Amino acid sequence: MRAEIIAVGSELLLGQIVNTNAQFISQQLALCGIDVFFHTVVGDNQSRLLQAISVAKNRADILIFTGGLGPTKDDITKETVSLYLQIPLEIDKPSLTSIVNYFEKRGIPMTENNQKQALILKNAKVFPNEHGLAPGMALEKDGTHFILLPGPPSEMKPMFINYIIPHLNHLLGESNLICSKVLRFFGIGESALEEKLQHLLNNQSNPTIAPLANEGEVTIRITAKASNEIKAFEMINRIEDEIRLIAGEFIYGVNNETLHQVAIERLSQKKLTLSLAESCTGGLLGHLVTSVPGASSVFLGGIQSYSDQSKVSILGLSPSVLKLHGAVSEESAKEMAENTRSIFNSDIGISITGIAGPAPVEGKEVGLIYIGIANNDTDTQVYRIKLAGTRNQIKQRAAKYALFYLWKQL
């Protein structure tokens, strides 16, 4: 089946917000085995939306609309689809009850136009909005499936996962079941990984193998089509085993796992504690660590020693080290890691010092990073890396490299 995504909202055309909904929906449809050939964005104009629907209906089996289900006059999606299909709108009583309860619980008066959000296409299948007010809906007419979803991603995404995917799988039938697994890589670039896996990529059919680079990481999505989940994952596992034999040293996780999540899990499993000393990343590594639930059991604290003065007065870095080697050096990274471990009495201390840009420092190029890891069980290791990109990209990648090296040591 072919789908077209139609995003409705003048704010999208004006560039006031980014159409992340289309990206998310396309990714999910690919997992369902549904092709997306067109993305359409239309402003809050009924005649142009009618034209877009007419064009899309001639080239797609499924039309998925996002946005335009709200209470104001410029929310025109369901009214326009109603006009196009010549199907009236009616109040969905469960949705109206949910909207009324929402306002009552918050002690806020409900205005009359909020009832508009409970309108649905007559005889449509209704998808409850568990994170907002306007319900989603689906209707089939003359062989074309119309799916209307709210615009806010916080409402649309859970609705799509919980209700739309089961609805689409029902339309496709069991014989078209699509399953996938994502392998997550760090420490190797997309082109280098593709070269290692070239023979698998050249001969793929079912399962398919799709590499994707993102913020210093690479993912491989393995997707299989089969009559049931067991058969699909048998096919996926065979390909995964081959990939792990070739490039397993760079695989740190699967599916939605993150570097900071797997690193904290390893620390927790080994009952080890962690402290940080950050310079060029300015607390970013600490932010990643503390974003993991349960990090408090292993993370004792960190020091943002951004200036040379703070490196000496707070972190205890030797002035002689700074004078002889500079703040961005192997020697400084080593002492920073050891000192933060001592200050917090942690099992492991990590330091990051480097140059994120935009200008060189100490006669050293932008992108030069030193990461120190002081571990009770081994000698302090210092890793020298050279990164490229914007200031923010260098900071992000430096923090991720620190987590990767920690994970590798553990």
Report DSSP letters for 365-402, one per residue.
-TTEEEEEEEETTEEEEEEEEE--S-HHHHHHHHHHHH
Identify the pLDDT of residue 281: 98
% residues pLDDT > 90 (the chain): 86
Average of per-residue pLDDT across 244-271 = 96
pLDDT tier at 173, thresholds 50, 70, 90: confident
Identify the pLDDT of residue 339: 98
SS (H, E, C) 171-199: HHCHHHEEEEEEEEEECCCHHHHHHHCHH
7, 39 Cβ separation under 8 angstroms: yes
Q: What is the DSSP letter of 116?
A: G
pLDDT tier at 184, thresholds 50, 70, 90: very high
- Separation of alpha carbons 399 and 288, rounded Å: 8
Q: Of 248, 277, 304, 249, nearest to 382 (Cα)?
A: 277
pLDDT tier at 148, thresholds 50, 70, 90: very high
- Separation of alpha carbons 84 and 390, rounded Å: 48
- Separation of alpha carbons 345 and 293, rounded Å: 22
* 144: β partners: 141
| Residue pLDDT, tens place only, 117-143 | 999 999 999 999 999 999 999 999 999
- Separation of alpha carbons 265 and 45, rounded Å: 51
Is the model's pLDDT at 295 over the cut of 80?
A: yes
Average of per-residue pLDDT across 219-226 = 90
Q: What angle do CA 388, 394, 399 make, to 5 degrees?
A: 135
What is the bridge-based pairing of β-strands 62-66 and 144-149?
A: parallel
Q: Of 139, 128, 4, nearest to 63 (Cα)?
A: 4
Q: What are the CB-based long-range contacts (under 8 Å, 24+) for 110-113?
A: 111/71, 113/71, 113/72
Identify the pLDDT of residue 287: 98
Identify the pLDDT of residue 317: 97
Identify the pLDDT of residue 170: 86
- Separation of alpha carbons 387 and 174, rounded Å: 47
- Separation of alpha carbons 170 and 174, rounded Å: 7
pLDDT tier at 328, thresholds 50, 70, 90: very high
pTM over 0.75: no
% residues pLDDT > 70 (the chain): 99
65, 8 Cβ separation under 8 angstroms: yes
pLDDT tier at 240, thresholds 50, 70, 90: very high
132, 67 Cβ separation under 8 angstroms: no
| Residue pLDDT, tens place only, 50-96 | 999 999 999 999 999 999 999 998 999 999 999 999 999 999 999 99
- Separation of alpha carbons 351 and 215, rounded Å: 21
Identify the pLDDT of residue 175: 57
pLDDT tier at 179, thresholds 50, 70, 90: confident
Average of per-residue pLDDT across 98-105 = 93
HSE of 122 in the Cβ direction (CA atoms, 13 Å)?
Answer: 8
Is the model's pLDDT at 174 over the cut of 70?
A: no
Cα dist. 100→96, 105, 349, 360 in Å? 6, 9, 54, 60
Cα dist. 219→37, 199, 336, 398 in Å? 23, 17, 33, 19
Is the model's pLDDT at 169 over the cut of 90?
A: no
Identify the pLDDT of residue 51: 98
What residue ranges define each of the domains in the chain, with the CATH number in brackets?
Answer: 2-172 (3.40.980.10), 176-254 (3.30.70.2860), 260-409 (3.90.950.20)
Identify the pLDDT of residue 176: 65
Average of per-residue pLDDT across 245-255 = 96
Give the 3-state secondary structure of residue 213.
Answer: strand
Q: Where is average pLDDT lowest: 36-50, 161-175, 372-386? A: 161-175
Identify the pLDDT of residue 125: 97
Average of per-residue pLDDT across 287-298 = 97
Residue with tokens 């159409």: 19
